[in-house]
Amino acid sequence: MDNLCIPVYNRPDLLLRCIASIDIPVDRLLIIDNSIDKSCGWQAEDAAGNNPNIKDVWVTYPYVNMGVAASWNFSITQMRAGVTFISNADTEFGQGDLERLEMAMLLDGPRWIGMNQDWRVFAINQEAVERVGLFDTNFHPIYCEDCDYERRCTLGGVSWGFIHGTTQHVGSVSWKDSELAKRENTRTYVENLAYYIRKWGGRPRGGETFTTPFDSGGPLDRFPIDLDRLSRL
């Protein structure tokens, strides 16, 4: 595997477990440390050094929490690879799952592939990004960015789906384990959902009525960045 990218917000213990479970050779491991105290990155470097499958580790420390969509975009643009592999930090890989995901991406054509019906770990190729664009960073800091991409891929003819594996995903620890993030999530989730409905004319995964963003007739990668909204979120 050429690369594996893992954004992290908190719970370095789960990140270390994730890194320890990497069971195939990885040339470059990219850690995006979105944590408040920036303590996850250096722990990740130590953990990567203890896993003989990891050849090199890169850690970046954004000034503020980039959020999920922006972190995924950073991973894609920094790796500049034919296929980019991205994982949640609260994931523990099942034996052989990364290899199966890598094999699933060998087919031709634009595609992304996840695992076990969610985005706990996924791979996306360059052709998919060229077809429908990067992730919409107006979804911040988390939620609805994945539904938006599924919608765009479906409309744009990008193949997508999931393979089965034993990879475990704790899920939503970025806000469940922080009282501040928990309070903020009650606000930001509602705003992200409202933005999704404005963009697609209905709720995610079945309620959409628009076939272009904002019913504009424009391209699928159209999402003018709303800096005021991002600052508010």
Q: If DSSP states are collapsed to H, E and C, what string results for 130-161?
A: HHHCCCCCCCCCCCCHHHHHHHHHHHHCCEEE
Cα 231 to chain centroid distance, Å, stands at 21
Residue 60 has what pLDDT? 96
Of 71, 77, 64, which Cα lies nearest the Cα of 7?
Answer: 71
Residue 25 has what pLDDT? 98
β pairing state of 83-87 and 118-125: antiparallel
**Number of residues assigned to the chain:** 233
Residues of the chain with pLDDT under 50: none
Residue 176 has what pLDDT? 59
